[in-house]
Amino acid sequence: MKIAIVILNWNGKTLLEKFLPSIVNYSSQKNVEIYVADNASTDASVHFIKEHFPTVKIVQNATNGGFAKGYNEALTHINADIYGLVNSDIEVTENWLQPIMATFENQPNTAIIQPKILDYKNKTSFEYAGAAGGFIDKFGYPFCRGRIFGELEKDNAQFNDEVDIFWASGACFFIKSEVFNTLHGFDEDYFAHQEEIDLCWRAQNLGKTIKYVGASTVYHVGGATLKEESPRKSFLNFRNSLFSLVKNLPKRKLLPILFVRMVLDGVAGIKFLMELRPVHTLAILRAHISFYYYFPKMFKKRKLSIQNNTYFLVDSIVWQHFIKKVSTFKALKNY
């Protein structure tokens, strides 16, 4: 299999200086090519790559279209069997690619793979964006093995396995190019955040398998391009999660689930107010206004092929975490 490791960059020279060396050093195989997809950076990123990493290929996008459009545009210029989409703030480890490629080769229906993602700043803990593989509850709230809302577990080898998951993190995301192209890539209306959940859901609707491979480990800084406490991040996460529900839920479940989800978002907005974080309450309000605007367009994108009733590992992660005080994945009811 021909593999393309593709790093999306926007004004990230500092991150490239720090993290590109590990990818180059630990991905040197005859069937692997490394690319930087540059989203119209105005810093010295491109010059830095050309000067210090001449073997790394560069695809220059005309504009900064965010994560979704940035990758969609860049990948049209890259020929490979497998796309490995890697954030610019990821440090990889020796032999990180071998377990992933072995899974693709030995399990033909596997379309998407995520490795174990640990925190670069605290390498004994899982990292927020993906941890040990993602799931969603019935109302579209994402959570991970190793991370439930803000609760992060220590890595004690409890997730050194290989299992089916619902979604793989865009921080380090391997996908067969054939599947990516069949699905027409990421939804560019998302701009950034949760577009990988939507893409995985659409792959599930085609009957494809998504895997977590714990034998491969990477370290992620997290929040390097958009800070964790950013109201912009809250806006995108809340709005884009609603997008995914409209696009992918079975029709008979859509309206009742969507109604409850929007009520829960309102509760989250009140919680932010009580925590004296009104900018995040406003972000949720803006997310809902934007969602109303885009609703007709999202509804037209529905192209379900199968009705999979195993999407939801638990009915409500909100109830499990905030009411039942569950803080680890293995303690979840129904797991």
Same domain (yes/no): 204, 252: no
Do residues 114 and 133 both lie within one domain?
yes
pLDDT band per the 50, 70, 90 thresholds, residue 304:
confident
Which of residues 164, 186, 220 is at a domain's end?
Answer: 220
pLDDT tens-digit series, residues 225-235? 444 578 999 99
**Is the whole-model pTM more than 0.75?**
yes
Question: 57 and 35 share a domain?
Answer: yes
**Confidence band, pLDDT 50/70/90 cuts, at residue 306:** low
The answer to whether residue 319 sits within a structural domain is no
Query: Would the pLDDT of 112 be above 70?
Result: yes
Are residues 35 and 156 both part of a single domain? yes
Our count of domains for the chain comes to: 2
Residues 35 and 55 in one domain: yes
Q: Is 64 left (phi over 0), alpha (psi -120 to 50) or beta?
A: beta
The dihedrals phi and psi of 233, each to the nearest 5 degrees, come to -65, -40
The reply to whether 104 and 7 lie within a common domain is: yes
Average pLDDT of span 88-109 = 97
- Residues facing residue 6 across a β-bridge: 35, 85
How far is residue 206's CA from residue 307's CA, in Å, rounded to a whole number? Answer: 10
Query: Is 323 inside any structural domain?
Result: no
267 shares its domain with 166: no
User: Do 269 and 146 reside in the same domain of the chain?
Assistant: no
Residues 53 and 197 in one domain: yes
Q: Which domain holds residue 111?
A: 3-220
CA nearest 225: which of 38, 40, 11?
11
In a domain, 190, yes or no: yes
Could you tell me if residue 310 is inside a domain? Answer: no
Domain boundary among 196, 220, 244: 220
Nearest to 200 by CA among 214, 172, 179, 171: 179
Place of tokens 């690619």: 97
pLDDT one-digit tens code per residue, 310-327: 668 889 999 999 999 999
Q: Are 17 and 48 part of one and the same domain?
A: yes
Task: Indicate if 115 and 24 belong to the same structural domain.
Answer: yes
Q: Are 52 and 44 in contact (CB under 8 A)?
A: no
Residue 335 lies inside a defined structural domain of this protein: no
Q: Which residues contact 52 (CB under 8 A, 6 or more apart)?
A: none
